[in-house]
Structures are given as structure tokens and as C-alpha cells.
Amino acid sequence: MKILKTIAEVREQVKAWRAEGLTVGLVPTMGYLHEGHASLIDASVRDNDRTVVSDFVNPMQFGPNEDLATYPRDLEHDAQLVEAHGGDIIFNPEPEEMYHKGFSSFVDMTVLTEELCGLSRPVHFRGVCTVVSKLFNIVKPDRAYFGKKDAQQLAVIKHMVRDLDMDIEIIGCPIIREEDGLAKSSRNTYLSEEERKAALILFHTLRYGEFMLKNGERNVAKITAAMKEKIAAEPLAKIDYVKIVDLDTMQQITEVDRPALCAMAVYIGKTRLIDNFFTEDLWNSADPKNKEIK
């Protein structure tokens, strides 16, 4: 496993693989890797001959008052994890390597970025689409892997690839959770012990929303109101949004009468956490726990 710092080095390596007729998977990350990232690497290693993991805290996707400066970083740990899961390269560029002086081209998207995180974080998806496009141009992978925890990001990337005729298969992988249900996230490390307990409200509230749907409720206003009420009872939690949107357009709906995404962003103390469920996964799962929640 190699750590490469420059675009030229990555291109050279990928060219050599291509000359041997090998396929290439890309796992874009911002580092501080956990089991969620590991599951993406596992999927890429399973599907492709070679796997590149990008490890780059992308300044362009952070707003002025967000956590760019404090975002956790640990390249040594990341290297161990990538190696253990069979990845071949970590691409870990400096910001200047990705954004040269005078950089002024961006990839932006309308409609799908108007709700959810796109509404709360106005520059976020422009930064994500731009950096992911650059990574696609650098690595030219056959497939790229994204977690379903960032459900809007996954929808945006799929849409971008279709709109811009990028010849890359986008694979969405299931959310990986801690034993008690909290979705794995690099930002969980910001939580104090008390906040870590409070953060479970996201998972419990999603399960409650699932329970309502499983029991026949289809009215979005009723479901989201009940979910918000539950979160409001947790003193350390502050709601950014709890919404149900059409899975294709990411626009709000009033009835759950089509494939939909139920997504939330909630501050626990100063830490903003996101989580979600896809209604299609809910209909397909026979999880008996859905019946237990009151």
C-alpha cells in the first residue's frame, strides 16, 4: 500500500494498472477512517482489481463558520486501516495540489441541493461536486463508493455523473452503526461522554419514524412532527432539519407515496450529526425491532 501526494503520481500508477487491463475502484474520503469507510473499501476491493482511497479534507465544502480547522486527521491510522482492508493507494494531496493558485472552475448543481444539507450548508455541495469531479478526472475509476449516511451527497453524485456523462458506476453502501445504533461518523469524536449518550436520539427517532410508516402512516407532516417532538425532549439536541423528500429529486413531499428519504440533521451540543433511512430499505427489511418501538 502506497501513500501518494501528487496528481501526477496517481495518474502514473493508474496508467500502469490500466496497461495490465486491471479495473480500478475509488473510495473518496476526508480521512479519519472508521468502519463505515472500511465497508466502502471492502466493497471496492471485492468489485475491482485495484482500489484507490482519497484522503483529503476538502476546504471547498466547508462554510466559513464550520469545522474545517478542527476536522480530525490521522494519516497513520488511515494507512493502517486501508492496508488491512486491501486498498492499494491512499491519495493524500495538500490543498495546494488540488487547488492551484488562480483555481476558478466549479461544478455546481441546482434542484437536488435545495433542501436538507444543501439548504443549511449553502456552499457544501458545490465543494463536494467540484472535488469529486476532480478525483474522478485524476483516478478515472470504473466504480466509486459512497456511504448512504450522506444520502443527499449520494443522490447528488449519481445525478452529476448522469448529467455530465461521466462513465463511472456509483455504488451506495449501507450505513454502518455503533452497537447501540449511532451512525459511525468522524465527527462522533467531537462528542463528550454525555453528548455521546444524547446522540442516540437520532437513531431512536428514526426508528420511531420507521415504526409510524410500518404501521401505515403516510402523512409527512404527521410523521415529521412526531419525530421532532421526540428530539425536542432531549435537552442537548437542537434540530437543524427533519424532512422526508422524494428520493430522486430530494424535494419535499407531503405523502409517502413513492420511494423517499427520511433525513435529519441535529446538533448535539456544537456537533452537527446527520442520519437517515430510505423507505425502500424499510419495506425490504424484515427487522422485527420495527414492531417493538412505541
Residues in touch with ligand PAF (CB under 6 A): 28-30, 58, 61, 128, 131-132, 150, 153
Closest CA to 92 of 58, 43, 47, 61: 58
- Residue with Cβ nearer ligand PAF (145 or 208): 145
The least distance separating ligand PAF from the CB of residue 181, rounded to whole angstroms, comes to 21
For 150-186, b/e burial (b = at least 16 CB within 10 A) is bbbbbbbbbbbbeeeebebebbbbebbebeeebbbbb
Identity of the residue, 40 or 213, whose beta carbon is nearer to ligand PAF in the bound complex: 40
Using the 8-state DSSP alphabet, how is residue 32 labeled? S
- Judged by beta carbon, residue 135 or residue 198, the one nearer ligand PAF is 135
Cβ 152 to ligand PAF shortest distance, Å: 11
Q: Which residue's C-alpha cell is 449519481? A: 158
Assess contact for 125 and 36: CB atoms under 8 A.
no
Residue 159 a catalytic site member: no
| Minimum separation from the CB atom of position 22 to ligand PAF (A) | 23
- Cβ count within 10 A of residue 61: 21
130 residue type, one letter:
T
Q: Which is nearer to ligand PAF, 127 or 209 (CB)?
A: 127
Going from the C-alpha of 58 to that of each of 20, 122, 203, the distances in angstroms are: 32, 15, 28
Backbone angles phi, psi at 240, to 5 degrees: -90, -60
Cβ of residue 148: shortest distance to ligand PAF, in angstroms?
A: 11
Q: Which is nearer to ligand PAF, 173 or 220 (CB)?
A: 173
Are 286 and 265 contacting, i.e. CB atoms less than 8 angstroms apart? no
Q: Which of 37, 85, 124, 159 is catalytic?
A: 37
* Main-chain dihedrals φ then ψ at residue 234, nearest 5 degrees: -95, 110
Minimal distance, residue 187 CB to ligand PAF, in Å: 11
Residues marked as catalytic = 37
